[in-house]
Amino acid sequence: MNYQYSYYQMDTEIDGVGVCATYGIRFSCGKDCITDIRDVSTDRDTVSEIVRQLNRNAVSPIHASEVIIDLIG
């Protein structure tokens, strides 16, 4: 199966900080198969690098959350 990851930006209210941009990861394996992992990080470069690694290694969605946790600590 062909997995494709991308990232997206959204505005999130953070207590004590206010509204700021956060980045999530979107997983797609076809038209009817889309899953979002919201609020991964406030750093776009970090999320972009995670997406590059997930796509490069063709990580399945079952293992993607483990990879994300390992990469952001």
Contact 47, 25 (CB under 8 A): yes
pLDDT at residue number 36: 83
The pLDDT tens digits for 12-69 are 888 888 899 999 999 888 777 778 888 888 899 999 999 998 898 888 877 888 888 8
Domain residue spans of the chain: 4-72
pLDDT at residue number 23: 93
Indicate the pTM of the whole model. Answer: 0.78
Range 7-38 burial, b when 16+ CB lie within 10 A, else e:
beeeebeeeeeeeeebbbbebbeeeeeeeebe
